[in-house]
Amino acid sequence: MSNQTITRAEVTDKIVGEVGLTRQESSDLLDRTLDMIGAALEHEDEVKLSRFGNFVVRSKAAREGRNPKTGEEATIAARRVVTFRPSPMLKAQVDNK
């Protein structure tokens, strides 16, 4: 099992090699794509990427929590979190590995 991390630079290099854009164009394309996804999620829009999965913003209510080291109780503030649900195709791809 490989626990390798793929970096933004490696994704850019893949785009250069597979699409044929320059390194700068590939970097700009990736940046714009990620900015668009981030902006949509910021406005609580759902992002659906066919054959990959869905990104959804969920609101979590405030709740009581506990510090695992000290056992001290604390209030965890309400917040918004991004969740990801993989598509059936991505699940199958990962499962076949």
> What is the pLDDT tens value at each position of the chain, 97 positions in all?
568 999 999 999 999 999 989 999 999 999 999 999 999 999 999 999 999 999 999 999 999 999 999 999 999 999 999 999 999 999 999 998 6
- Residues 38, 78, single domain; the answer is no
Number of domains the chain is built from: 2
| DSSP conformation letters of the chain | ---PPPPHHHHHHHHHHHH---HHHHHHHHHHHHHHHHHHHHTT--EEETTTEEEEEEEE--EEEE-TTT--EEEEPPEEEEEEEE-HHHHHHHHT-
- Residues 89, 52, single domain; the answer is yes
- Residues 66, 96, single domain; the answer is yes
- Residues 39, 52, single domain; the answer is no
pTM of the model: 0.79
Residues of the domain holding 75: 47-97
- Residues 16, 33, single domain; the answer is yes
